Amino acid sequence: MSAVEPILPPATIGVLGGGQLGRYAVIAAGVMGYRTVVLEPDPVAPAGRVADVHLVAAYDDDEALRRMGDECSVVTTEFENPPAAALDVLDRRTLVAPSPMAVSIAQDRLLEKAFLTDAGMPVGPYAVVDDDAADPDIVYPAILKTARLGYDGKGQRLVSDASEMRAAWRLLGSVPCVLEQALDLRTEVSVVVARSASGAFASYPVAENTHVDGILDLTVVPASVPRRLADRAVGLGLAIADALDYVGVLAVEFFVVGSELLVNELAPRPHNSGHWTLDVAQTSQFEQQIRAVCGLPLGDTSLTRPGAAMVNLLGDLWDDGEPHWDAALQPGHTALHLYGKTTPRAGRKMGHLTSWGSRERAELTAVAARVALSRRG
């Protein structure tokens, strides 16, 4: 996508994917006066239920792609795994942002590692595993990850030696994988950045993240890392976006090892660790996505409170019945977000809570509010 005249309301914006990230992007676009079209095979997908048009079809459906390409002034994606062929079809008919090339790199760990290495970005020790006889030169323990389609802890195995690694590779389907050396992490942080086709750039405050079973559990802003590391995270985020000629919102996840940052993963879209921006930033990451892909001036990313914390609400919370929503709906410093998903399942992201105040108070409030929702709490 090259620099063009801004795409202004009431133009139509297309979104590939129907999850909660797409839902908030569609809502932001609607508030700004845009018309929206969502392509998503699930007829009750969260984004489809709030869009002007929901194309209930496979992502590679020729007729749906033709219609989206013809009706939309720009098409973006709310997840990192749309079929590359679908993005290429759309790219021949309309603007696609971020570009198919950028998405293809971020959706394949092998391509992502190669891109980051070639661009001079700091990454942890890793090796490629693509056959049953692999014996990579890497220090164990290590984590074996499928090159594609793994997220929220899926497609990953912790292994302690080469024999265990080969067995895990077969269990993962004998598909191409990345073997990453397990690191002694101080913490994990992420930065959500935005870049427009003109090269304009904006960054949100760096967030600190806690994962449970591979799924993001808690995000706290600002991160409790030295200013030097926070500034470096922002700088690396900008450098990566520039190297990708990226247009849109991009999340970059980092490992903090000792006093250094290592790039973990890229997410070519708004990100779970940026959900707090809905309540505690001048411009949400979702409005920013619309601004970036439409060539509008990027919004103010500053905090509206000293700090914020977000906790995910997973389907496990429904195990003993409907949660106590009244506990999160009292006037105060907490906001409840539910995504409109019809079926709760273990590990499925059903919503989140955001709290604000000082950094420490926000974290305590968010965690306590989630406990209060549970019928076991």
- What's the pLDDT score for residue 19? 96
149 and 176 share one domain: yes
Q: Are residues 130 and 218 in the same domain?
A: no
Regarding whether 316 and 174 lie in a shared domain, the answer is no
> Could you tell me where the beta strands, DSSP code E, fall in the chain?
12-16, 35-39, 53-55, 74-77, 95-96, 126-129, 142-146, 156-159, 177-181, 187-195, 201-203, 207-212, 215-221, 248-257, 260-267, 307-314, 334-338, 349-357
Look up residue 178 and give its two tokens: 């990345």
Domain that holds residue 307: 187-373
Task: Compute φ and ψ for 157, nearest 5 degrees.
Answer: -145, 135
Which residues, 6+ apart, have CB-to-CB distance to 376 below 8 Å?
A: 320
CA-CA distance, 309 to 294, in Å (whole number)? 29
Residues 368 and 223 in one domain: yes
Predicted local confidence at residue 150, as pLDDT: 63
Q: Do 362 and 217 sit in the same domain of this protein? A: yes
d(CA 371, CA 377): 5
Our CA angle for 122, 260, 354, nearest 5°, is 100
Q: Mind listing the pLDDT tens digit for each residue in 30-40?
A: 999 999 999 99
Six-digit token pair at 163?
Answer: 């024999």
Query: Do both 222 and 154 map to the same domain?
Result: no
CA distance 32 to 14: 15
pLDDT at residue 52 is higher than 50: yes
Average predicted confidence (pLDDT) for the chain:
94
pLDDT above 60 (res 376): no
Q: Is the dihedral of CA 131, 135, 136, 138 positive or negative?
A: positive
7 within domain boundaries? no
- Split at pLDDT 50, 70, 90, the class of 4 is low
According to DSSP, the residues that pair with 338 across neighbouring strands are 351
The pLDDT value recorded for residue 340 is 93
User: Are 226 and 310 found together in one domain?
Assistant: yes
Q: Residue type at 37?
A: V
| Distances from the Cα of 277 to the Cα of 20, 52, 186, 189, 321, angstroms | 14, 24, 25, 16, 30
pTM: predicted TM-score of the whole model, two decimal places: 0.94
Element (H, E) at 105: helix 100-106
Phi-psi region of 30 (alpha: psi -120 to 50; beta: other; left: phi over 0): alpha
Domain count, the chain: 3
pLDDT at 77 over 50: yes
User: What pLDDT is stored for residue 1 in this prediction?
Assistant: 41
| pLDDT score of 3 | 45
Pair (48, 153) in one structural domain: no
CATH number, domain with residue 143: 3.30.1490.20
Residue 101 belongs to some domain of the structure? no
338 found inside a domain = yes
